[in-house]
Structure 1
Amino acid sequence: MANLVQELNSLDFSVYIGGPLQAAVKAQHDASISQVNFIKEVGFTPAVPASGSGSTAVPATPAQLRYVDFNYQKSVPNPSYDPTVSGSKPFNESSVNLKVPFLTMLTIPALRIDEMTIDFNAKLNSVETQNVSSEFSGNASLSAKFWKVKFNASASYKKTSSSTSTTERTYTLGVHVKAVNDELPAGLSRILDMLEDSIAAV
C-alpha cells in the first residue's frame, strides 16, 4: 500500500506557496517602477544632454515640467464704465492664458495588492484490492472381484490470489489577488498640491 504521509511530505510547498507570493511581490515592484516611469515620461519633457566643445559647446538642459496652455476669452468689469456715456460697456473682453501642470490633470497609476489568497489542495486516494480463489477436485473408484479389492483415488487443489493497488493523485492550486488603486504617497501628494498652487491665469 502506498505511503500517503510520506508522499505528502515530499511535496515542495515552497513552490506551490512561495511561487505565487514571489510573483505578487514582483508585480508590486513592477507597479511602483511603472508609476515612476509614468511621471517621468508624461509629466516632464526629456532632458537634453550637453553637446559640442569649446566655444560651440551647448550646455545640458534638464528635464522641464510639462504644462498645458489654455487660451480663452473672459469678461472682466470695465473700471471706466459710465452708464451716462453712450457706448460705454460694463464689461470688457480679455484674453486669458492658463498654464496647468500636466500631472495635475491625470490619474497617476498607484496599484497596490490589497489581498492575496492561495488555495492549495492535495488529494490522494489509495485503493488496494485482493482476490483469492481456490478450486478442489477429486474422484475415487472401488472395484471388488473374488475377494480382491481395488481402490483408486485422485485429488487436486488449486489456489489463485491476485492483488491490485491504485493511487489517485489530484492537485489544485487557486490564487486570488485583489488589487486597488492606492492613495498617493505623502511626498507625491504634497508635490501635486504645490503644482496646483502654481496654476496661474494671465
Structure 2
Amino acid sequence: MAGVAEQFRGLPMEALIGGPLMAACKAQYHLATVMVEFITTIGFTGKPEKQVARTLNFDLTRPVDDGTTPLQTQTITINAPLLGLVPIPALLIESVTVDFTMEVKSSTQDTAKSSSSLDASASGGFFGVSFSVKGSVATSRENTRSTDNSAKYNVNVIARQQQPQEGMSKMMDLLASAVDPIAVNSGS
C-alpha cells in the first residue's frame, strides 16, 4: 500500500488547483478591461484630458392635458447619455469549480514462466514376461501482475451578464412615461 501513497507524492497540487484559479482571475481582469474600454470608447468623446459624455439628442413631442379639447402638445428636448442606453458588457465569473480526481490501481503486470520436466523409463522381464514402464512429470508456473494509473481533471467556469445599469432603467422608464399626457393646472 505504500506504493499507492507514493503515487500521490510529488504531484504539483499548487499548479493543478491554483492554475485554473489564477486563469479565472486573469480572465476576470480581462473582462473588466473590456468593460472599461467599452465605456471609454462608446460613452465619451474628446481628448483624454477633457472627456465629454456622448449623448443621444432628440426632440420628443408629448401630449399635455390642460383641460381643453383637443389636447395640446409640448416638445421637450432629450439629451440622454449613451452609456445609459446601451448594454455594457459587464461579464463576471460567477463561480469556478476545479475537480481533481486521481485513481491509482496498483496492479503490475509482469509475466514469468517456469517449467521443468522429468522423464523416466524402466524395462525388464520376469519368468519370460517382459515389461516396459515409461513416465514423465512436468510442472509449469506463470505469475502475472499489472499496473494501471489514471487521472481525471475537470475545470468548470460559469460567467453571467450583470444586471442592467440603473441609468438605463431610469431612461427606459422616462421614455415609457413620455406617451402619457402631462397634467397642467389651468388656474387663471
TM-score by length of 1: 0.61
Partner of 1:138: 120
Corresponding residue to 2:58 among 70, 75, 88: 70
Q: Secondary structure at the match of 1:127?
A: coil
Letter in 1 for 2:28: Q
Q: Check the 8 A contact 1:128/1:163 in 2, yes or no.
A: no
Partner of 2:80: 100
* 2:99 counterpart of 1:119: yes
Letter in 2 for 1:15: A
Q: How far does residue 140 in structure 1 lie from its aligned partner after superposition?
A: 2.3
* 2:13 counterpart of 1:25: no
Which 5+ residue runs of structure 1 have no aligned equivalent? 49-60, 84-88, 146-152
Q: Check the 8 A contact 1:2/1:167 in 2, yes or no.
A: no
TM-score by length of 2: 0.65
Q: How far does residue 44 in structure 1 lie from its aligned partner after superposition?
A: 0.7
> Cα distance 1:10–1:133, how it changes in 2: closer, same or farther (>3 A)?
farther
Which 5+ residue runs of structure 2 have no aligned equivalent? 128-132, 179-188
Q: Check the 8 A contact 1:42/1:103 in 2, yes or no.
A: yes
* 2:152 counterpart of 1:172: yes
Q: Check the 8 A contact 2:108/2:148 in 1, yes or no.
A: no
- Could you list the per-position Cα deviations for residues 42-73 of structure 1 after superposition, in whole angstroms to 9, with x for gaps in the alignment? 1111427xxxxxxxxxxxx7221000012232
Q: How far does residue 90 in structure 1 lie from its aligned partner after superposition?
A: 6.1
Q: Secondary structure at the match of 1:5?
A: helix
Partner of 2:90: 110
Q: Secondary structure at the match of 1:70?
A: strand
Distance across 2 between alignment mates of 1:90 and 1:32: 53
Q: Please give the root-mean-square deviation of Cα atoms over the aligned residues, in Å.
A: 4.1
Distance across 2 between alignment mates of 1:154 and 1:13: 67
Q: Check the 8 A contact 1:119/1:173 in 2, yes or no.
A: yes
Bigger relative contact order, structure 1 or 2, given CA contacts below 8 A and separation 6+?
2
- Could you list the per-position Cα deviations for residues 133-163 of structure 1 after superposition, in whole angstroms to 9, with x for gaps in the alignment? 5544322234689xxxxxxx99987655443
